[in-house]
């Protein structure tokens, strides 16, 4: 999980190669918005997958290296 910057924005596929933390594409930093995005992503995407389908969760990082 990361913000979409650098090379990762070119190879990122949400939920396949990882998860993005939303940030302003103009480069402005809004810590409150990034924190809200982080917690939302954890609550609604990552933790349900981790606890509900651990096999699928472990496949996400593995797909990145293919």
20: number of Cβ within 10 Å: 19
For residue 65, the model assigns a pLDDT of 46
Domain-wise residue ranges, the chain: 2-64
Is residue 23 a contact partner of residue 16, using CB atoms and an 8 Å limit? no
For residue 3, the model assigns a pLDDT of 82
d(CA 63, CA 45): 17
pTM of the model as a whole: 0.72
d(CA 31, CA 21): 11
Mean pLDDT in the chain? 82
Note the pLDDT tens digit of each residue in 27-51: 667 889 889 999 999 999 999 999 9
Q: Grade residue 24 by pLDDT with cuts at 50, 70 and 90.
A: low
d(CA 48, CA 33): 22
């Amino acid at each position: 999980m990361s913000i979409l910057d650098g090379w990762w924005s070119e190879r990122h596929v949400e939920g396949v190669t990882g998860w993005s933390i939303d940030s302003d594409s103009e480069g402005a930093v809004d810590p409150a918005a990034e924190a809200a995005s982080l917690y939302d992503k954890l609550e609604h995407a990552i933790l349900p997958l981790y606890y509900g389908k651990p096999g699928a969760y472990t496949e996400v990082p593995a797909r990145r290296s293919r």
